[in-house]
Amino acid sequence: MRKLAAGNWKMNGLKADLDQITALATDHPAPTVDILLCLPATLLTSAHAVAGQIALGGQDCHPADSGAHTGDISAGMLAETGASAVIVGHSERRADHAETDATVAAKAKAVWAAGLTAIICVGETEAQRDAGQTLDVIAKQLSGSVPEGATGANTVIAYEPVWAIGTGRTATLDQIAEVHDFIRTKVQTRFSAAVGGGIRLLYGGSVKPLNAGDIFGVSNVDGALVGGASLKAVDFGKIIEALSSQQHH
């Protein structure tokens, strides 16, 4: 299984920032891991021209393939830009836009229908973690957000503890291992050992060049979904290198 270094630029990035993608592509002409940048939709087409071996993705899509949904964007529209993946169910979407597990599952199906890979995000809040509810929350999100038919080809699952996103707090290696092992068991039980074993599990939440190597050494961590550190080629490049060295072990 090839590891995956995925970056989420969130609501950042203007055309001037394409030079970061050019730099990243120049530094990684033949990567040994998969590299994906999920960009604002406005940048996807122009980024495609400079991305080289770096795959591009969207950060969200509407469940419908077209219609009267002002301001929304469909998975098919993202596919047409050359995108190969779409993040769905990011905690910021769940919190800011009240997205439910059912909404996330509908979006994941729309992503699949457009021939793209869905990166489905799950994760508990600080209050849920402190109340000892982490695994219950993750189990509920997995069953509600991941549709039937998930495979390693069409689905990536990203575990992002909400309390560790953009806070500088990172889950301990033991906490990451516990949740990733739990997710792996859940998807193998639900979809079969072979299928569940082929779905890549990413960790996200304050992943930085300094801690990436340790995180990538944790069992069932197949890569990362990186926020702020993906905006600069030099930072994201170090994370990619840490993941590449794990790929060879």
| Residue 99: active-site member | no
Amino acid identity, residue 218? V
Round the average pLDDT of the chain to a whole number and report it: 97
pLDDT in tens, 120-168: 999 999 999 999 999 999 999 999 999 999 999 999 999 999 999 888 8
Residues 6+ apart with CB under 8 A from 192: none
| pLDDT reading at 248 higher than 80 | no
CA-based radius of gyration for the chain: 17
pLDDT band at 249 (very low <50, low <70, confident <90, very high): low
- Predicted confidence at residue 167, as pLDDT, reads 82
CB atoms within 10 A of CB 12: 14
| Residue 148: active-site member | no
Instruction: Identify which has the larger pLDDT, 169 or 232.
Output: 232
Q: What is the dihedral sign for C-alpha 127, 130, 134, 137? A: negative
Say which of 62, 99, 160, 180 is annotated catalytic. 160
Contact at 8 Å (CB) between 142 and 189? no
55 strand-pairing partners: 36
Question: What number is the average pLDDT over the span 97-125?
Answer: 98
Question: What number is the average pLDDT over the span 13-20?
Answer: 98
pLDDT in tens, 183-230: 999 999 999 999 999 999 999 998 999 999 999 999 999 999 999 999
Amino acid identity, residue 2? R
What's the CA gap between 196 and 190, in Å, rounded? 8
What's the CA gap between 29 and 26, in Å, rounded? 6
Question: What number is the average pLDDT over the span 170-183?
Answer: 96
CB atoms within 10 A of CB 136: 12
Residues 103/162/51/70 CA torsion (nearest 10 deg):
40
Domains and CATH numbers, the chain: 4-8+39-207+214-233 (3.20.20.70)
Say which of 28, 90, 92, 180 is annotated catalytic. 90
What's the CA gap between 83 and 86, in Å, rounded? 8
Residues above pLDDT 90, as percent of the chain: 96
Q: What is the dihedral sign for C-alpha 115, 240, 201, 17? A: negative
Q: Chain-centre distance of CA 229, in angstroms? A: 14
Contact at 8 Å (CB) between 189 and 196? yes
Whole-model pTM: value is: 0.97
- Predicted confidence at residue 126, as pLDDT, reads 93
pLDDT band at 74 (very low <50, low <70, confident <90, very high): very high
